[in-house]
Amino acid sequence: MSESTRLSYTQVEVTEGLEGPAVKRAFVSLSDFEVQSRLRASSRPESTVFDPAWGRKADSATFQPCEHYHSQDRYVVRQLDVYGEKWTFTGVFDGHLGDATVEHTAYHLPIIVTQFLQTALADSSTSVPGPNDIREILSRAITSFDDAIAGDVLELFPGGIASLRHRSDEEIRRVINDYYESGENYKKAKLCMYGTTALVALVDPDYRNLWVANLGDCEAVLVSPNPNARFKCEILTNIHNGDNQLEVERVRREHPGEPECVLNGRVLGAIAPFRYIGDAPFKQPAEFTRRILYNLYPGIPDSSPWDDFLSRNRTPPYISSQPEVLHRQLTGPSSHAQLRTIPSFLILATDGLTELYDGWDRDEMAEDWARCIGSAHYPQTKASGPTTSAPGSDNLALHLLRHALGGEDVVQVSQMLTLDMTTPWMDDTTIVVQAL
């Protein structure tokens, strides 16, 4: 039977930001085999083995079902070689406005972290860095990486921001729009236009320590087995947006006398995350954006939305690149007979996964993730509460994705996979599940 003869219709909500009633959209009713095949093809699941003897690996999947839209999520799963010792580095990144900055971050941030670790360990002849030292190293690596994004552009103009008033727009354009030559200046300036969240995890070579660094609204959950056949889970991240009152108070405290530093739950009334990599217009003086970024090819056809929030930009930075870094000591192989060969798992996910849990409490959502991973990996245990055993449990990220999309409800998953729309009906969703 062809797909055209299996068309069904469903009510879907209109794209966020548009007004109007729900409209009927066609979708293809797939079989379970077709669902799993299409999900695998579109999410490109991968497994990276770190230590086969202990079963240490990381599964990953990244998903955007709309064929007319290019995902701005990225992820990293790799080992960092620091003087012959292998540290594991995993991360998920959710870009916005464009993919230049998120692509740059996913590629270069592991390199920067490696360099910072090498420097610290080279200088540790008298004492080995402790967990708090590594926490600080990871934090400085991330902030330094972010500082360089705008810093590399300002270096193109001797004298920095202050020199811009003495330069014509034409002179600035000649410097930054060098795409017919090396293109290096253009690439540097383009990185300032966009931004990305960053949620990264670092594990030491002995798997005794875990550090999680977070900027933005991604989620990290640590899943561990218990002797009573249940799964305990811990949320390791805070959400850095206007729903977090501590973040709102922090920004207001840093900008006294500026009531519109947070407006309608957004920084300067324009952007939702309060901590980010990139997004130079919220971190540099307004002159940086008006003189440099406005002159970047092809220009900004309608600058009025930018002008609106730039008029509130008085004492930058407003968005922080200072990550929250959390440390957890890992227990290693358990002395309990039942748990001796059962690992813990770290789940990293962009907010596309959490949006599939609309209406759920965060703790309930994390517990559901734990049950899903537990049911797939711990066959000898009994998960409490409902769970799915959908195909795909060989890759735990894919298994969790299928579960969140509808699990064994083939019709619901078919809808999420095949809606006849030219604009995205769900957010980009990226998952990394690491066995510790």
Alpha carbon 402 to chain centroid distance?
19
The predicted pLDDT at position 55 comes to 87
The predicted pLDDT at position 225 comes to 79
The predicted pLDDT at position 335 comes to 46
The predicted pLDDT at position 185 comes to 97
pLDDT digits (tens, 9 = 90+) for 48-86: 999 998 889 999 999 999 998 999 999 999 999 999 999
- In tens digits, what is the pLDDT along the chain, a chain of 436 residues? 555 556 777 766 655 444 556 778 889 999 999 999 999 999 999 999 999 988 899 999 999 999 989 999 999 999 999 999 999 999 999 999 899 999 999 999 999 999 999 999 987 665 678 999 999 999 999 999 999 999 999 999 999 999 999 999 999 999 999 988 899 999 999 999 999 999 999 999 999 999 999 999 999 999 987 776 577 899 999 999 999 999 999 999 999 999 999 999 999 999 999 999 999 999 999 999 999 999 999 888 889 999 999 999 999 999 999 999 999 999 755 444 444 457 899 999 999 999 999 999 999 999 999 999 988 876 544 444 443 444 445 899 999 999 999 999 999 999 999 999 988 999 999 999 999 9
Q: How many Å apart are CA 288 and CA 165, to the nearest integer?
A: 10
* Contacts (Cβ under 8 Å, ≥6 apart) of 36: 390, 391, 392, 402
DSSP classification of residue 275: B
Structure tokens at 370: 């734990």
pLDDT digits (tens, 9 = 90+) for 418-430: 999 988 999 999 9
The predicted pLDDT at position 312 comes to 97
Alpha carbon 403 to chain centroid distance?
20
The predicted pLDDT at position 3 comes to 58
Structure tokens at 239: 């959400």
- The number of residues in the chain equals 436
Query: Which residue from 256, 242, 211 is spatially nearest to 319, judged by alpha carbons?
Result: 242
The predicted pLDDT at position 13 comes to 60
The predicted pLDDT at position 129 comes to 87
**What domains are there in the chain, each with its CATH number?**
3-154+194-240+275-279+319-435 (3.60.40.10)
Tell me the DSSP string of 45-91: -EEEEEETTTTEEEEEEEE---TTS---EEEEEEEEEETTEEEEEEE
The number of beta carbons lying within 10 Å of the beta carbon of residue 238 is 14
The predicted pLDDT at position 391 comes to 42
DSSP classification of residue 379: T
The predicted pLDDT at position 159 comes to 95
Q: How many Å apart are CA 436 and CA 186, to the nearest integer?
A: 41
The predicted pLDDT at position 346 comes to 98
Query: Per DSSP, what are the bridge partners of residue 26?
Result: 9
